[in-house]
Amino acid sequence: MDKHKTRRCVFHLDCSEITPECDRRCDDCISEMKEAFENLEGIREFATEGKGEITKVVIEHETTEVSLEELMGMFEKLPSRFKASFKPSLVQ
């Protein structure tokens, strides 16, 4: 019996604290997120939906290898080049 369970999570990232510094270079942040999450054990897929402020991040992960809390914690460390960080909320 396979004990692995894959979960698909969709996140909205509040980046309002970052916006004054970032000059709306969303692609830079998305690239950094993609690299950070794809290097995390248990991540099966990283994708985005939408553009700009309405961008949602979709992560498919193995629940036995990485928890939802760990994913939320990763967002709070990003982007690394600013003092402020993302404020994630789970959409689904």
Walking along the chain (92 residues) 10 residues at a time, the average pLDDT comes out as 80 79 78 92 93 84 94 87 81 86
Task: Quote the pLDDT of residue 6.
Answer: 93
Residues 6+ away with beta carbon under 8 Å from 33: 46, 57, 75, 78, 79
Task: Quote the pLDDT of residue 1.
Answer: 45
Structure tokens at 45: 């897929």
Q: What does the domain layout of the chain look like in residue ranges? A: 20-90
Rg (CA), the chain: 13
Predicted structure pTM score: 0.83
Structure tokens at 90: 């789970």
Task: Quote the pLDDT of residue 3.
Answer: 64
Task: Quote the pLDDT of residue 64.
Answer: 93
